[in-house]
Amino acid sequence: MKAIAINGSPHMEEGNTAMILNPFLEGMKEAGCDVEVFYTMKLKIGPCNGDMSCWFKNPGICGQKDDMQMLAPKLKEADIIIWASPVYYSGVTGPLKNLMDRQLPIHVLGSIGEKKQKVVLVSTCGDWDMSMFDPLLMQMKAIYDRPDGSSSFVGALLRPMADGVKEMVKAGETGLVDGVFRAARDAGRQLAKDGIISEELLKQVSKVLMPRDAYYKAAQMMMAEMQKTAKN
């Protein structure tokens, strides 16, 4: 089984998104899945120019020559696609959205329905509130829950208050957060083995680690500290 993961975080391996994505992918590999990861920061992929030549003039072929030529066949052939992104203004990051738009030649009229792909979202945000992920979830479902069954959105690993989680890891407070990473790994293993991710594991990834007020207070103090450090 082949999986492709695209991480849209500018922080790549060091980011909060990788903190959840990586154990998930490790779990998939442990269960025998062949996983390839790409970072939008390392790819040269321009925005779609919207000329629709990939549908009408040269069906399935994009006129732009960049890294999408290498990536498109991989996206087309994958059994599982994992989109990973921090929440940026209620959406995925700009470079990831550009890449997603450039899938149009893959989804050219008539070719839909060839393969039953499974799609997963991995996302992190700074806010405490899970509702931050609602627009991304809606977008993923709208794109990938296709009525003809050619692809299905199997679930999302969502980690709110991710900046707080990073601080907890740095401070060595692993007791609370270990369960989150373990659940991400188990979710990867389950997806590769059974083709599903249980609600229980997804809940563990998103689990409340501290009360809302306490998090916002801690976040304010952290930001004041960061401002002081940045000025010095």
Residue 60 structure tokens: 């399935």
- Closest by CA position to 39, among listed 5, 14, 73, 64: 5
Judged by CB under 6 A, the stretch of 13-21, 44-52, 58-66, 144-152 that binds ligand FMN is 13-21
In whole angstroms, how close is the CB of 206 to ligand FMN at the nearest point?
A: 13
Interface residue with ligand FMN among 90, 174, 220, 227 (CB under 6 A) is 90
Residue 13: phi and psi, rounded to 5, are: -60, -25
Which of these segments, 126-134, 146-154, 169-177, 206-214, binds ligand FMN (CB under 6 A)? 126-134
- Closer residue to ligand FMN in complex, CB, 123/151: 123
CB 124 within 8 A of CB 205: no
Q: Is 16 in the site for ligand FMN (CB under 6 A)?
A: yes
Q: Using the 8-state DSSP alphabet, how is residue 207 labeled?
A: -
Rule CB under 6 A: say whether 139 interacts with ligand FMN: no
Task: Determine the Cα–Cα distance for residues 47 and 41; give it in Å rounded to an integer.
Answer: 14
State how far the Cα of 89 lies from the Cα of 3, in Å rounded to an integer. 28
Residue 216 binds ligand FMN (CB under 6 A): no
How many whole angstroms separate alpha carbon 74 and alpha carbon 182? 28
CA triple 44-45-50, angle to 5 deg = 155
Which span sits near ligand FMN by CB under 6 A: 87-95, 99-107, 109-117, 193-201? 87-95
Q: Using the rule CB under 6 A, which residue among 80, 120, 125, 157 binds ligand FMN? A: 125
The CB-of-162 to ligand FMN minimum distance in angstroms stands at 4
Q: What angle do CA 116, 122, 126 make, to 5 degrees?
A: 160
Does residue number 163 form part of the binding site for ligand FMN (CB under 6 A)?
Answer: yes
Alpha carbons 124 and 84: distance in angstroms, whole number = 9
Q: Which of 5, 17, 28, 191 binds ligand FMN (CB under 6 A)?
A: 17
* Residue from the set 31, 37, 88, 210 that interacts with ligand FMN by CB under 6 A: 88
Which residue type sits at 220? Q
20: contact with ligand FMN by CB under 6 A: no
Q: What is d(CA 202, CA 153) in angstroms, rounded to the nearest whole number?
A: 14
| Binding window for ligand FMN (CB under 6 A); candidates: 5-13, 30-38, 137-145, 191-199 | 5-13
DSSP code per residue over 11-61 = TGGGSHHHHHHHHHHHHHHHTT-EEEEEEGGG---PPP----TTTTTSTT-
Rule CB under 6 A: is residue 22 a binding residue for ligand FMN?
no
Shortest distance, CB of residue 86 to ligand FMN, whole angstroms? Answer: 3
Residues in contact with ligand FMN by CB under 6 A are 9-11, 15-17, 86-90, 124-127, 132, 162-163
